[in-house]
Structure 1
């Protein structure tokens, strides 16, 4: 074991610290003139960035060509001797520290390792975020609030068979502006570019003109002969799923929609419970087969890229960056889709049965049990999703987040607007 002196600056305070470094059973001093060729160069540009109330991401520059790895020590204070939290292999330049306390400052020191020698330390610190989950706005409804879509300063709410448009410019005081009712109940909706597309399970897709939010008007019906389950829009096209198909429809002229393409999943074996469209792909949550990824680079000819059985009935799916998030009967799963032909399950969190899922990175919002309650999960480290917060004893039929606010459709309780990170 070797002893050396080091000076560290913490604001106006200069601390003279004596640090003991152990690099192996036959430790050699980093200052030994006989061992310079074996001593790895210490890393640089060491940074700690808080990603959430429970996680910090560490990054650094690797300046050595002979290191065996890097040792990371976490300290709860500058006087804390610290403890080793990880030793990562050579050439790695990042690490996620998780399961931390919120609103807490953590200090880190990092060194390169090579055989039985080690470099000097570099230091970094970060303070985890404060997650304050607060109810800031409510809007009671005469019928059960079931489904939500958001576009600009408006929230579009489906209550049984009625569309209600809410002005949410001031989220503390959401105001109902206009509404329109339909002969069939609403199972999903999507608002974009002056229109709301309403999925009626027994009739198809209704197109509602919302150019005047105080007087929305139904202008078209696109009939579907099999029960409509969901609708979303992507790059000028509307995607509609029924039990076994995803239809791609051009609504450029809303009164004369044109079927562009269609993907057939194969009857009950691939029964579709939910879907999401992003990055020229359709992601399907299939009842018996789990996750399916469809290429729609050519929307006239959708092509299956991969099918990954999760072992449980999949209810909903979302995608962000190189990851896909699946809510199934067994919990919450994260897949790495860097190669969409071979998705890899990298993260898993056991949850009670539930279906709703919304992603606003680095958070996931999930419904944990039979349309009651809301869990917020930290997904900043995809390999280790973790619980963050809980909003309980309320219905949560649908969940949306715009990164600042969380919107809940709470059935007979109406709509709730929550704020976090305050």
Structure 2
């Protein structure tokens, strides 16, 4: 798995370099609103997040989600990308036909056609979404100084919050296994929580490691 990750990182760098050398034709930006200024282009960006499902890697490249075919890890190929999102992609999780992107809020991206990923849902979290994990019909969002949010994504077009826990630090990232959520909480250490399914998180801090 480590070898796979190394090849993916190398391939991503080469692929993105190729896009820059070709003038970023594949990275034409969508116009967004501004004050007497219109966005007409954007190329590349820092990579903060990646998730892999099957033969595809879903990579946060600056303010975009880029889909890469990594069936041959030594030759990853860009097959699709979103338009420019409002924030830099800091977290990505994939489940089934959807990618869940943390870029300040939670965005639900339909990736059933890897060549044309498209946003189908959005939830504006109270804080600043930095990390995301998905289990079943729930997305668990590390929401900065607003702690952990649990979002019901059973209807991808209308995600809704069903649970929250205000962690003592700043929630930077999250992983989920079974009914437990493991939160990287910055100065708050590692916080372990259990979702009980009725709009509240109860802490089960088996070990708060700092």
Report the TM range for the smaller structure's normalisation. Answer: 0.7 to 0.9
Tell me which residue corresponds to 1:260.
120
Q: 1:324 aligns with which of 181, 188, 202?
A: 181
The C-alpha deviation readout for 1:186-224, integer Å capped at 9, x for no partner, is: 1111121211111112x4011112233332111222122
CA RMSD, Structure 1 to Structure 2 (Å): 2.3
Q: 1:186 and 1:179 mapped to 2: Cα distance?
A: 10
Counterpart position of 1:280: 137
Q: Is the 8 A contact 2:100 2:132 kept in 1?
A: no
Q: Does 1:334 align with 2:192?
A: yes
Q: TM-score, normalised by structure 2?
A: 0.76
Instruction: Quote the Cα distance in structure 2 between the aligned partners of 1:326 and 1:275.
Output: 10
Residues 355-377 of structure 1 deviation map (CA, whole Å, 9 limit, x = unaligned):
xxxxxxxxxxxxxxxxxxxxxxx
Contact 1:179 1:215 in 2 (8 A): no
Change (3 A) 1:336 1:184: closer
Aligned to 1:237: 98
Whether the 8 Å contact between 1:331 and 1:349 is mirrored in structure 2 is no
1:134-177 alpha-carbon deviations (Å, 9 max, x no partner):
xxxxxxxxxxxxxxxx5xx962248xxx8236xxxxxxxxxxxx
The whole-number CA distance in structure 2 between the counterparts of 1:291 and 1:242 is 15
Q: Structure 2 stretches of 5 or more lacking a match?
A: 17-43
1:293 Cα deviation (Å)? Answer: 0.7
Say whether the 8 Å CA contact 1:250–1:258 is kept in structure 2. Answer: yes
* 2: CA distance, partners of 1:311 / 1:292: 14
| One of 6, 14, 23 as aligned partner of 1:180 | 14
Unmatched 5+ stretches in structure 1: 1-149, 166-177, 353-422
Structure 1 residues 339, 232: CA separation in 2 closer, same or farther (over 3 Å shift)? closer
TM-score under structure 1 normalisation? 0.40
Alignment of 1:51-62 (within 5 A): none
In 2, the alpha carbon distance for the partners of 1:157 and 1:340 equals 41
Preserved CA contact (<8 Å) 1:261 1:300? yes
Within 5 A, what are the aligned runs for 1:42-81? none
Indicate the residue corresponding to 2:28 in structure 1: none
CA contact (8 A) 1:180 1:217 kept: no
**Aligned partners of 2:48 and 2:103: how far apart in 1?**
11
CA distance in 2, matches of 1:277, 1:191: 13
- Which residue does 1:302 correspond to in 2? 159
Query: Contact 2:15–2:76 at 8 Å: present in 1 too?
Result: no
Q: How many residues align?
A: 181
Instruction: Identify if the C-alpha distance between structure 1 residues 287 and 213 changes in structure 2 by more than 3 Å, giving closer, same or farther.
Output: closer
1:155 equivalent to 2:4? Answer: yes
- Which protein is richer in strand relative to its size? 1
Q: 1:94-136 CA distances to partner (integer Å, 9 max, x unpaired)?
A: xxxxxxxxxxxxxxxxxxxxxxxxxxxxxxxxxxxxxxxxxxx
Q: What CA distance in whole angstroms lies between the structure 2 residues aligned with 1:214 and 1:283?
A: 32
The answer on whether the counterparts of 2:101 and 2:107 sit within 8 Å (CA) in structure 1 is yes
Give the Cα separation in 2 of the matches to 1:230 and 1:302: 17
Q: Which runs of 4+ in 1 moved over 6 A?
A: none
Q: Are the aligned partners of 2:131 and 2:141 in contact in 1 as well (CA < 8 Å)? A: yes
